[in-house]
Amino acid sequence: MAAKGDNAPVIIKKVKKGGHEGHHGGAWKVAYADFVTAMMAFFLLLWLLNVTTEEQKNGIADYFSPTTVSDSSSGSGGMLGGQTLTDEGAMVDQRAPVGVNLTMPPPPPATSTESEAGDAESVARQQERARFEEAAGQLRRALEENPELSGLSEHLLVDETPEGLRIQVVDRADNAMFALGSAKPLPKTTQLLKLVSDSIAGLPNDIAIKGHTDATPFRGSNGYGNWELSADRANATRRALVESGLKAERISQVVGRADQDPLLPDDPTHPKNRRISILLLREQPTQAASGDGTRGGAAPARTIGPSILGKDNAG
């Protein structure tokens, strides 16, 4: 103690008792945060279990499950430590937690359906073309074997269009197949249509018949013109084919086109533009098929055989 009158400072020391609050001050906050985090994870797991599908659950399980097995025969030293994989892909072990299984659906097994369909279509198209070739050959042989009808070959044009086999009965400058302004076929036309009917009778294809005129205006009574004339000639052709033995249910279309599809577009008044088109429709039409393949004379067509049924095989 300083002597009386000394100016030295007086130091007072206080000692606090009871350090319980300082020792435990922040520990409960960490524990509470862990608890809240665990509860969030738990409720998130419950939510996932509720909203995911079975396939998604399997996918999640597979994602977290090892897919390789230890080479060791013992229970140690391996990826799984002797544990096994269930069919679902989750490890089965007393210690293993229950996981959420989520597997993406496996890709569909590779099939050759499309390839087989394409091959089948190609084979069917080849078979159909062979039938067309045979029908054209039969028609040619029938004309060659009948001297009385051999001259009619110049009135026939046979080719293959995107829509099918096209047989056209055309007029010539000095020889018409119908009387002028009439829808009644001449006797020689009926004979020719009989040969056509015989050659295509055994085929399964539906048939479309189209009548065409040249561009020369025709005016009959009561407004009768090229449209009516071409339609009536197409319908007369239908009757002649059916009377010759062709099944009526095979004819799916009979139309008149007037002068809209000229065979010779550069010469619209040429007699060969007056014609009847008998079209054997493909069972599976090609994408290029449109109309009867005669519009503008530019449709892709393949002549069947060398100069089939006539030296002048235009169109």
Q: For residue range 205-242, what is the model confidence (pLDDT) as tens digits?
A: 999 999 999 999 888 788 899 999 999 999 999 999 99
* One-letter amino acid of 78: G
Q: Residue 190 above 90 pLDDT?
A: yes
Kindly state whether residues 197 and 247 are assigned to the same domain. Answer: yes
SS (H, E, C) the chain: CCCCCCCCCCCCCCCCCCCHHHHCCCHHHHHHHHHHHHHHHHHHHHHHHHHCCHHHHHHHHHHHCCCCCCCCCCCCCCCCCCCEECCCCCEECCCCCCCCCCCCCCCCCCCCHHHHHHHHHHHHHHHHHHHHHHHHHHHHHHHHHCHHHHHHHHHEEEEEECCEEEEEEECECCECCECCCCCCECHHHHHHHHHHHHHHCCCCCCEEEEEECCCCCCCCHHHCCHHHHHHHHHHHHHHHHHHCCCCHHHEEEEEECCCCCCCCCCCCCCHHHCEEEEEEECCCCCCCCCCCCCHHHCCCCEECCCCCCCCCCCC
Lowest-pLDDT range, 31-35, 156-160, 254-258?
31-35
Kindly state whether residues 281 and 191 are assigned to the same domain. Answer: yes
The mean per-residue pLDDT over the stretch 263-279 comes to: 96
Quick one: pLDDT at residue 112?
63
Domain count, the chain: 2
Quick one: pLDDT at residue 247?
96
Q: Residue 253 above 90 pLDDT?
A: yes
Kindly state whether residues 58 and 205 are assigned to the same domain. Answer: no
Percent of the chain with pLDDT over 70: 66
Q: Does the residue 270 lie in any domain?
A: yes
**Average pLDDT of the chain?**
77
Lowest-pLDDT range, 82-86, 151-155, 236-240, 287-291?
82-86
Determine the structural domain holding residue 63 and report its residue range.
45-68+82-104
Q: Does the residue 91 lie in any domain?
A: yes
Kindly state whether residues 55 and 185 are assigned to the same domain. Answer: no
Kindly state whether residues 131 and 276 are assigned to the same domain. Answer: yes
Please tell me which residue, 313 or 187, carries the higher pLDDT value.
Answer: 187
Q: What sign does the CA torsion over 160, 164, 167, 173 have?
A: negative
Kindly state whether residues 100 and 133 are assigned to the same domain. Answer: no
Q: Does the residue 265 lie in any domain?
A: yes
Name, of 5-9, 41-45, 117-121, 217-221, the range with top average pLDDT. Answer: 41-45
Kindly state whether residues 261 and 299 are assigned to the same domain. Answer: yes
Quick one: pLDDT at residue 153?
86
Q: Does the residue 27 lie in any domain?
A: no
Percent of the chain with pLDDT over 90: 40
In which band, very low, low, confident or very high, does the pLDDT at 196 lie, cut at 50, 70 and 90?
A: very high
pLDDT, tens digit (0-9, with 9 covering 90-100), for 60-97 = 777 776 554 444 444 444 444 444 444 444 444 444 44
Q: Does the residue 180 lie in any domain?
A: yes
Kindly state whether residues 91 and 162 are assigned to the same domain. Answer: no
Kindly state whether residues 63 and 129 are assigned to the same domain. Answer: no
Write the CATH number for 183.
Answer: 3.30.1330.60
Kindly state whether residues 92 and 145 are assigned to the same domain. Answer: no
Lowest-pLDDT range, 85-94, 243-252, 277-286?
85-94
Kindly state whether residues 202 and 269 are assigned to the same domain. Answer: yes
In which band, very low, low, confident or very high, does the pLDDT at 283 lie, cut at 50, 70 and 90?
A: confident
The mean per-residue pLDDT over the stretch 143-156 comes to: 84
Kindly state whether residues 232 and 146 are assigned to the same domain. Answer: yes
Lowest-pLDDT range, 58-72, 142-156, 173-187?
58-72
